[in-house]
Amino acid sequence: MDRDGIINIDYSYTYKIDEFKFVPYIFELVNIFALAGYKIIVVTNQSGIGRGYYTEDDFDILSEWMVGEFAKKDITISKVLHCPHLPLDNCNCRKPNIGMIEQALTIFDIDLGSSWMIGDKQSDIDLARNASIGTSIAIGDDNIKNASLSFDTIEKMVQYLQLNKGIL
């Protein structure tokens, strides 16, 4: 799953704990996947590091806190992967490139075809396609193309999964 705009409200280049506001129903959503046996992995573009807006340490501190907030609710985030580069760097890890998925595959045994990618940008959905992730979910933006399913909000996605339990 993506982070900014999915786990937290996207205010652009969020790196401070006190500016990190969880999106409503995100804990419910992640818990549905966790209870269904999915491993939860965050893949997030963080060009704010490459731009010098914040540091790797800032990112790590925020990530550790964020994972801890899920842990308080007995939800395990298995890994937070990030790309610190600028678009101009042409790295292999900035979504929609698949470097972070390749990294995840070195750590975990993942069936990509049975995996879901949840994001709020075209690059998230394109990542899913590029990495052959089976199901891609677009949240919030009507203009995103090629998603398997689209929802206006995380709350709407939670409602959908509660009504369609077999889909997982």
Q: Which residues are tagged catalytic?
A: 2, 4
With CB under 5 A as the contact rule, which of the stretches 16-24, 28-36, 82-90, 119-127 interacts with Mg ion? Answer: 119-127
> Binding of Mg ion at residue 5 (CB under 5 A)?
yes
CB neighbour list of residue 30: distance below 8 Å, 6 or more residues apart? 1, 40, 70, 75, 77
126 binds Mg ion per the rule CB under 5 A: no
Q: Is the dihedral of CA 24, 135, 78, 74 positive or negative?
A: positive
Q: Of these partners, Zn ion, Mg ion, none, which one is at the site of residue 2 (CB under 5 to 8 Å by kind)?
A: Mg ion
Residue 164 C-beta: closest distance to Mg ion, Å: 24
Binding partner selected for residue 161 from Zn ion, Mg ion, none, CB under the kind-specific 5 to 8 Å limit: none
With CB under 5 to 8 Å by kind, the binding choice for 83 among Zn ion, Mg ion, none is: Zn ion
Is the separation of the CB atoms in 5 and 139 below 8 Å?
Answer: yes
Point out which span in 11-19, 31-39, 115-123, 143-151 binds Mg ion (CB under 5 A).
115-123
Which residues fall within 8 angstroms of residue 159, CB to CB, at 6 or more apart? Answer: none
Number of residues that bind Mg ion (CB under 5 A): 4
Smallest distance, Å, CB 87 to Zn ion? 9
Pick the closer one to Zn ion by CB: 87 or 134.
87
The residue from 1, 4, 20, 140 that contacts Mg ion (CB under 5 A) is 4
Q: What residues does 86 pair with on adjacent strands?
A: none
Name the residues that contact Zn ion, by CB under 5 A. Answer: 83, 85, 91, 93-94
Torsion of CA 146, 147, 153, 159, to 10 degrees: 140
Q: Where are the alpha helices (DSSP H) in the chain?
A: 26-35, 47-50, 56-71, 99-107, 122-130, 154-163
For 27, 77, 95, 105, 167, the CA distances from 23, given in Å and listed in that order, are 9, 16, 21, 28, 23
The residues of the shown chain that bind Mg ion, judged by CB under 5 A, are: 2, 4-5, 120
